[in-house]
Structure 1
Amino acid sequence: MSTKTRAPQERRSNALAVGGVVVAMILVIGAGFLVNRLRDSSQDIAAAPAGSTEHGVAIGDPDAPHQVVIYEDFLCPYCGQLEAASGDELARLADEGKVYVDYRPFDLLRTDYSVDAANAFAVVLDVSGPEVAKTFHDELYADQPAEGGPYPDADWLVAKAVEAGATEDDVRPGIEDGAQEQWVTDATSAAADAGVNSTPTVLLDGRFFQDGRTMQEIVDNLVAALE
């Protein structure tokens, strides 16, 4: 093979090698960013105990030996990852009486969808009760939109609420009109007052939980602490 034939192939091989290194670096940086967000304990979190505020929905026995509080934004992709990894396990442990879990959505990302989804959650909680609101919460994460949009409209939120067990006539007006936007504002203020400035923020028995290097490892260690 001549030098002229070999040179383009070598350049292509080198380009592929460099591209692979760049992709690997992006993955490492992304993983590190996620872990740092979850492990940032540079501030004190002074959250109210699970079930003690109106800005969330709690599952399990209030007298369980452990409490978990999760601050979240319905658009936050890391919150979606946390829910996918932990939702079933936390529900199981709550059913077994081992933990009382309080999910507290608020508007961290300052997007229309963050407000609209939290408003819809508060409407469902108000008119359909905590069980339906928790199911709606889970549905929102199961079909979470991309952080950059496009974002679902009010009709989509109403349909999700109905799938969760709400009656359309009960929830549509509040979802369309933003009837609980003050609830969202208050929930956001309460999170800020507690010292929460990232999502997801997970508290175990009142203390910031940060044990793990990946989302799955963090969830596995959380579940182990609750067993």
Structure 2
Amino acid sequence: MSTTKQTKPNANQRTALREQRERQAAAQRRLSRIVRTTWIAGITAIAVLIGVMVWAVAGNRSATPAPSSGAVVAPANATDTGALRFGTGPVTVSVYADFMCPFCGRFERANGDYLQQAVAAGSITLDVYPLSFLDQQSGGSRYSTRAANALVTVANADPVTALKFNKLLYSNQPAEGGSGLTNAQLADFATQAGASADVAASISREIYTPWVEQATQQAFASGVKQTPTVQINGTEFTGDLYTAGALQAAVEKAASGAK
């Protein structure tokens, strides 16, 4: 039976072992610091990302006007698609417009008289879609919605007066980015167009604001992407919207059945 004699480490060996353990401990501390720093950085990055996402969602919500909580009251001459209908002619001209849109003003000034005359002559059915998507361009005054509600209020009482009122609003169109006309000014123009005092006074009650908001949503859900958008018998008119005569020629072509 053999035996092995165990010897104790000498002083140099003990020093070497102690230094080795100290190096290992230092390395472990460095590793722990790296792990902890990385973990904190990761949590911070996630928090920043979440903050950016919340800000973006909140920004989009604040840019979109909240729907009115009132009941939707449709005017007398409303269509199921959200238009005000004027006339009963064989050719249907649909106009999607916003009272704050400067290009809609240009379109009205070029074509408004013709459209009124064509309605009166029985040549066309005019569907006007008063949209309110440019509310945020009126300094918080919700001009697009208020002006659209004013037109609908007048149209509900008298369609002929409403077309005159529509022309007056575009003739006195405020600049985009401004606060727009006040309700009192809208009522005054309605009276100038021929609306009764009671009808003009009811504009400020905004009875038709929920209907305007609903109609605006319907229009964009149907594929309308911009204003003015003009359709003839359901097909978008792609000709010159801002020069008198171009739209009239297209309508007359549609009336004749020409291809």
TM-score by length of structure 2 reads 0.60
> What are the superposed Cα offsets for residues 32-90 of structure 1, whole Å, 9 maximum, x if unpaired?
xxxxxxxxxxxxxxxxxx9733733333334x2x2110000011100000000011122
- Could you say if the C-alpha distance between residues 145 and 169 of structure 1 is closer, same or farther in structure 2, counting changes exceeding 3 Å? same
Distance 1:169 1:51 in 2: 21
CA contact (8 A) 2:84 2:152 kept: no
Question: 1:148 is aligned with what amino acid?
Answer: G
Pairing 1:132–2:132 present? no
* Match of residue 90, structure 1, among 102, 108, 115: 115
**Secondary structure of the residue that 1:215 maps to in structure 2?**
coil
1:1-227 equivalences under 5 Å are 52-53=79-80, 55-62=82-89, 64=90, 66-111=91-136, 112-126=142-156, 128-172=157-201, 174-212=202-240, 215-216=242-243, 219-227=244-252
Which runs of no fewer than 5 residues in structure 2 stay unpaired?
1-76, 137-141, 253-259
Question: 2:242 is aligned with what amino acid?
Answer: M
Distance 2:162 2:83 in 1: 9
Question: 1:155 is aligned with what amino acid?
Answer: A
Larger RCO of the pair (alpha carbons < 8 Å, separation 6+): 1
- Could you say if the C-alpha distance between residues 93 and 119 of structure 1 is closer, same or farther in structure 2, counting changes exceeding 3 Å? closer
CA contact (8 A) 1:122 1:183 kept: no
Sequence identity of aligned pairs in percent?
35
**Secondary structure of the residue that 1:183 maps to in structure 2?**
helix
Question: 2:83 is aligned with what amino acid?
Answer: G
Q: Pairwise CA RMSD of aligned residues?
A: 2.1
CA contact (8 A) 2:93 2:233 kept: yes
Instruction: Pick the structure with greater CA Rg.
Output: 2
CA contact (8 A) 2:84 2:128 kept: yes
Distance 2:164 2:234 in 1: 25
Aligned to 1:14: none
Distance 1:107 1:118 in 2: 7
CA contact (8 A) 1:123 1:175 kept: yes
Count of equivalent residues: 171
TM-score by length of structure 1 reads 0.68
